[in-house]
């Protein structure tokens, strides 16, 4: 969930920077509606761990291992196929996180690929951008360049890459593709915002 909050914060920051800075280009809104059903799961639908398992096992044609983590204002269900990877959009992914709000509505669906080098994560990021530009046109790029997203002002799809250190060593790098319902994401973000 913390990775989702980080991506959502970067996404929100981009909206604010572009909205408040008149010198920045306008945010690009795609004429093509952003896809809302991903791997048999639909943004805003109510779900639970059993429904997620069933939908993903059908989508992956593979047994799925799930784990869920309750958060203060929602839940994250992580699913990993038994084969340890799956294909989506012509790219290979390692696991999928389904983020739910307190009412079990699907706020976002995140597909993540895990790599040993940031170069590989960046390569997949660039491949995903090329793929999504064909469908949605030019994307909105975060000022730091590690996040690109497309929006129809109801839902958004974005791709990001990052490098992090695992507990006990072993650096990993990640490329994450996410689909999010903006209204549910904003509401969850505000509920999780610190009051300090």
Tens-digit pLDDT string for the chain (196 aa): 445 445 444 444 444 333 334 444 578 999 999 999 999 999 999 999 999 999 999 999 999 999 999 987 899 999 999 999 999 999 999 999 999 999 999 999 999 999 988 999 999 999 999 999 999 999 999 988 899 999 999 999 999 999 876 656 667 899 999 999 999 998 887 776 665 5
Q: Where are the domains of the chain?
A: 2-191
pLDDT for the residue 86? 96
**Sequence-separated (6 or more) residues with CB below 8 Å from residue 132:** 139, 148, 150, 157, 159
pTM: 0.84
Confidence at residue 20, expressed as pLDDT on a 0 to 100 scale = 38
Look at residue 149 in the predicted model and tell me its pLDDT.
Answer: 97
Residue 191's pLDDT is what?
A: 75
pLDDT at 3: 52
Cα separation values, 28 from 74, 90, 181, Å: 30, 25, 17
What is the pLDDT, as a whole number, of residue 71? 83
């Amino acid at each position: 969930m913390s990775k989702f909050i980080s991506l959502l914060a970067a996404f929100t920051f981009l909206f604010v920077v572009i909205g408040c800075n008149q010198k920045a280009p306008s945010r690009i809104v795609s004429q093509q509606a952003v896809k809302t059903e991903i791997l048999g799961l639909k943004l805003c639908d109510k779900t639970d761990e059993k429904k997620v398992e069933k939908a993903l096992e059908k989508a992956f044609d593979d047994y799925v291992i799930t784990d869920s983590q309750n958060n203060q204002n929602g839940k994250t269900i992580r699913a990993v196929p038994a084969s340890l990877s799956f294909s989506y959009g012509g790219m290979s992914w390692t696991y999928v996180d389904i983020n739910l709000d307190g009412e079990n509505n699907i706020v976002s669906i995140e597909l993540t690929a895990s790599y040993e080098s940031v170069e590989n994560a960046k390569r997949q990021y660039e491949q995903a951008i090329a793929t999504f530009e064909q469908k949605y046109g030019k994307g909105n790029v975060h000022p730091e360049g590690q996040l690109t997203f497309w929006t129809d002002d109801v839902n958004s799809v974005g791709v990001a890459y990052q490098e992090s250190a695992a507990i006990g060593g072993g650096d990993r790098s990640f490329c994450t593709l996410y689909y999010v319902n903006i209204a549910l994401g904003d509401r969850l973000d505000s509920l999780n915002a610190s009051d300090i």
